[in-house]
Structure 1
């Protein structure tokens, strides 16, 4: 086996491992972005805990086929970048979508969440879902509100009884 083939097989194995490990994957066309814009995008993705890579489409297709995601091939045309979210499933879509609003050269193509492939419109909907931390904060807030109301009612009852007993 020649060295080039070995390198390609290693790269396919690496891509396959990343696709398996990621909670979500977003494919985007980045053609036309300047180096400065790409640097800003990469920084935003890094801060959100998202890995951002550019691989040869043919190698990604091979890795995806090994994972049973054959239909991803239609989205791997031309220069395509891959954003991999390992902790927050919405982070790659959210960061890329927000960046694409002000940089028209970046175009979302597709996404993968739990081995299910989503088209551009579905990825854009995914981008509008708040992060896990925000959802948890909202949930805790919804728990806290009724509890604080109960505490106020109980306190009012206590104060009323104290004033009645003082009379």
Structure 2
């Protein structure tokens, strides 16, 4: 086997293994991003233990087939994949935030908990607040009735003293 073919097979196997072990991943068309913007995106993804890979479509398609994922069809255009290892939503959120600022970024789809999400579902999931934000929203809802009673008691107390 030629050296280059063996190298490509190793790339496919490595990417397929990363896809299989990931909690989520998102594939998007990055055409139009500058090298500086891609570097900033990579750093943001690394903070959340995710990675960004810019790989040829042939290798990406073969890795998806090897992982038994056929939902993306045949990928065309300059595509990249962001793979989340620890936080499932982090890569989706980061790519969604970049796509809000840049209209030319096209989200092809994502995988979350071993199920395919199209562009609209990916954007809906990515726009949800993070875990801490959800906790604070729930806590606010739970304390609202108590807060209302306390304000009412305070108002009654103020009217009684006058």
Same fold (TM over 0.5): yes
Separation in structure 2 between the aligned mates of residue 23 and residue 104 of structure 1, nearest angstrom: 27
1:99-110 to 2 correspondences below 5 Å: 99-110=98-109
Number of aligned pairs? 149
1:13-65: CA deviations, max 9, x gaps? 11111101111111111111112222222222222322111111111211211
Aligned match of 1:11 = 11
Separation in structure 2 between the aligned mates of residue 6 and residue 137 of structure 1, nearest angstrom: 51
Tell me which protein shows more helix as a share of its residues.
Answer: 1
1:121-153: CA deviations, max 9, x gaps? 1110110222234445556x379849xx6xxxx
Gapped runs of 5+ residues in structure 1? 150-167
Aligned match of 1:163 = none
Separation in structure 2 between the aligned mates of residue 71 and residue 126 of structure 1, nearest angstrom: 18
Conserved? CA contact 1:50–1:84, under 8 Å: yes
Aligned match of 1:126 = 125
Conserved? CA contact 1:88–1:132, under 8 Å: no
The RMSD of aligned alpha carbons is 2.5
Conserved? CA contact 2:53–2:81, under 8 Å: yes
TM-score w.r.t. the length of structure 1 is 0.76
Conserved? CA contact 1:25–1:92, under 8 Å: yes
Gapped runs of 5+ residues in structure 2? 147-162
- Cα drift, residue 71 of structure 1: 2.5
- Cα drift, residue 108 of structure 1: 1.6
- Cα drift, residue 69 of structure 1: 0.7
